Structure 1
């Protein structure tokens, strides 16, 4: 359940930011039809595992990666997508703590860009960071 909550927390922050820039988001497991020549985002979590740090095993430590892929029309270069990666680094700074109720998740690493992937119609640049949440 908590990886789902982590995804929801990060998606809410991303959604408000993207809306202010006129960007749509393709969410994990939700049908999405991009427009012609549209730049949009794809967001998803990559849970890394759930651990415990007590002998009783009553707590949980949730870790993983939150990734945002910036998908833009091919043929325009990487500059716009790379600029959005920089903006995402400001949106999700290292050690940012976000809460929902009594649950808190923290950004563990700086946002890191991935390589540009080009196909016939799109150029995709990913941006990702590691997260951690502890629940007693």
Structure 2
């Protein structure tokens, strides 16, 4: 799964750098800024055998979540525009290389899943659904 998370995180980092956004990577030191930042994590799904035999391929599906953490009392429009831009950066059919000898990761779809006010921020979540073969 390391190759999968590396590919998705690299793609997100390219976007965040271009937008001037900080990213709170999992299990890494991070001091939240005053403004908006991103916080991704991945949930791998189950493996499904796609071919018979010892050397057959298994399909791995999963969801890559990108959380947008924004200041309160600023409206929802900016966060929704950012969510749309992230979804465009992970379009349906996108293929990401996982390295030598591995089949690519493919994005099934990306969409804004939820948006809610929390005690200290506006929380907007994007789901990037993907699959790959192992």
- TM-score where L is the length of structure 2: 0.90
Structure 1 residue ranges without an equivalent (≥5): none
The answer to whether structure 1 residue 40 and structure 2 residue 27 are counterparts is: no
Is 1:10 the counterpart of 2:8? The answer is yes
Cα deviation digits, residues 22-80 of structure 1 (max 9, x gap): 10111122232202x22000011111111211221532211100110000001111111
Match of 2:46 among 41, 46, 49: 49
Give the secondary-structure state (helix, strand or coil) at the position aligned to 2:24.
strand
Q: How many residues align?
A: 131
Partner in structure 1 of residue 125 of structure 2: 126
Q: In 1, Cα distance between the equivalents of 2:39 and 2:106?
A: 21
Alpha-carbon distance between aligned partners in 1 of 2:2 and 2:58, rounded to the nearest angstrom: 14
Which of 69, 72, 75 lines up with 1:71 in the alignment?
69
The aligned counterpart of 1:105 is: 105
Distance 1:27 1:51 in 2: 29
TM-score, length of structure 1 as denominator length: 0.89
d(CA) in 1 for partners of 2:131, 2:77? 31
Q: Which residue of 1 aligns with 2:89?
A: 91
Distance 1:8 1:134 in 2: 16
